[in-house]
Each structure stands twice: as C-alpha cells, then as structure tokens.
Amino acid sequence: MKTIGMIGGMSWESTLSYYKAVNEGVKCRLGGLHSAKVVLNSVDFAEIERLQHLGEWGKTADILSDAAVSVEAAGADFFMICTNTMHKVADEITARVSIPLLHIADATAEQLVSDGVKKVGLLGTQFTMEQEFYRGRLTDKFGIEVVIPDSEQRACVHQIIYEELCQGQVNTTSREAYLAIIQDLQAQGAEAVILGCTEIALLVSQQDTKVPLYDTTEIHAKAAVQLALS
C-alpha cells in the first residue's frame, strides 16, 4: 500500500471528511482491520484565507509548498491538496517536490467523462468559479463545457462557504439557496453539478436534488484509495 500525503486544514471540517473517506475506502477494499497509510500536514486556514482575499497567492503557495515538502519527507508516495481553491497554485507546489500530485480537477473530470457528462455546472469559491485554473482545466484538458452561476449567486455561494461551512455551520436557508442555484444551472443546460468546494457536501447531498451532483471530496478520496492500492 502506498502512503497518501494530505495537505489539509482548508478547512479542517472537510479534511475530516477526507480522512474518513480514505480509511473507509481502504477498509472496503481490503477488509478486516486495514486502514489507509496517511501523512497529514494540516495548515492554519485563517492564514490562508487572509492571503487569498488579499490576492497574495505566492505566499499561499509558499505555505503549501512547505507542507508538501514535509509530507514527502515523512514518506508519502503521492500527495493531495485537500481543497479545490488552492489548486490555483498547484504548479508552484509540485515544483518543490518529486512525488506526484493527485489533482482534484483531474479526478473529477475523469469521473464526468466516464459518466458521459459533457456540460456541467460548477459551484465553489468565487476564485474557483471565476478563474481559469479550475474550469479552464476541465475544458482544455477534458473537453467539458462548464457553466457557472451569475455574479449575485456566486457571491452568495462564496459567502456561505467562508462564513458558515468553513466554520461548521449548516443552515437550512443556505441549503435552499444552493438548491435554487443548482436548478438554475440545470436550466442553463448543465447535465450535472460539481460541488467544487470540499465543504459544500456538508450542506447539500444527492438526496436533496434530482440533479446529479459530483462531490469533489468523495471523488478525490476515492481516487486516492485507487492509487494507493494500485
């Protein structure tokens, strides 16, 4: 079994979901008392969040690069950045280590392609929804058309992530707002919707809507188990 390197803490609520998912995945595959071999470096999200909103992406890259170096030194065979947004600086991080990155957008896109989804809605932070590092990768590398909410809806999605979900708050009114946005994305032709922030699955799940949802935390963790046991 390969050792999974995790860069977590962004936020710790979703990192908890990652840790549970990879261990359940390994146990499901191997049975008995088996669990995943994991090296975790969990950063202080307050520091990362402040730099994000200041546009200091280079400084966030330095913090996460140091984390990647540490998990490699601790014996990780590959690593994951346990958040969608910070894949904005994935290239800077991978340049600092020799172990491969299991990219969250690639894992998600491969599942979409496998399922025959050609047009998808994307929910996430404003950084993820509006910038090209994520949706551009889905389109350029995998040929998937991406639609996003309008500006007011994007601001709503972003605010709920940072002010509620990252702080462990799950509110019914926020769930209803997200579900309405998901319906709007379907009306724009989206065949499915990516939950492109690792906290969103804390708020909405497949049982809440008939629109197919792709939980990036679940997909990323499943891909990690597959790679660890390959």
Helix segments in 31-171, DSSP class H: 45-54, 57-73, 90-94, 104-114, 126-130, 132-142, 151-163
Percent of the chain clearing pLDDT 70 (strictly above): 100
139: confidence class by pLDDT, cuts 50, 70, 90: very high
Position 32 scores a pLDDT of: 96
Chain centroid, CA 109 distance in Å: 12
Residue among 60, 197, 216, 217 flagged as catalytic:
197
Q: What is the arithmetic mean of pLDDT over 150-178?
A: 96
Q: What is the arithmetic mean of pLDDT over 188-203?
A: 95
228: confidence class by pLDDT, cuts 50, 70, 90: very high
Task: Say which DSSP state 167 is in.
Answer: G
- Pairing status of strand 192-195 against strand 119-123: parallel
Position 136 scores a pLDDT of: 95
pLDDT higher for 198 or 179? 179
Position 43 scores a pLDDT of: 97
The position carrying tokens 């499915």 is: 192
Position 25 scores a pLDDT of: 98
Position 95 scores a pLDDT of: 98
- Which two structure tokens, joined as six digits, stand for 15? 């990192």
Position 47 scores a pLDDT of: 97
> What is d(CA 228, CA 120) in angstroms, rounded to the nearest whole number?
28
> What is d(CA 178, CA 130) in angstroms, rounded to the nearest whole number?
17
Contact yes or no for 102/87 (Cβ under 8 A):
no
Active site annotation includes 197: yes
Give the strands of the sheet with 38-42, arranged side by side: 38-42, 4-8, 78-81
Position 199 scores a pLDDT of: 92
Q: Where are the beta strands (DSSP E) in the chain?
A: 4-8, 38-42, 78-81, 119-123, 145-147, 192-195, 213-215
Q: pLDDT tens digit string along 69-107?
A: 999 999 999 999 999 999 999 999 999 999 999 999 999
Position 19 scores a pLDDT of: 97
Lowest mean pLDDT segment, chosen from 44-48, 122-126, 164-168, 221-225: 164-168
Q: What is the arithmetic mean of pLDDT over 204-211?
A: 97
Average pLDDT, the chain: 97
Residue among 15, 60, 83, 128 flagged as catalytic:
83
Position 51 scores a pLDDT of: 97
Active site annotation includes 83: yes
> What is d(CA 13, CA 8) in angstroms, rounded to the nearest whole number?
10
Q: pLDDT tens digit string along 50-62?
A: 999 999 999 999 9
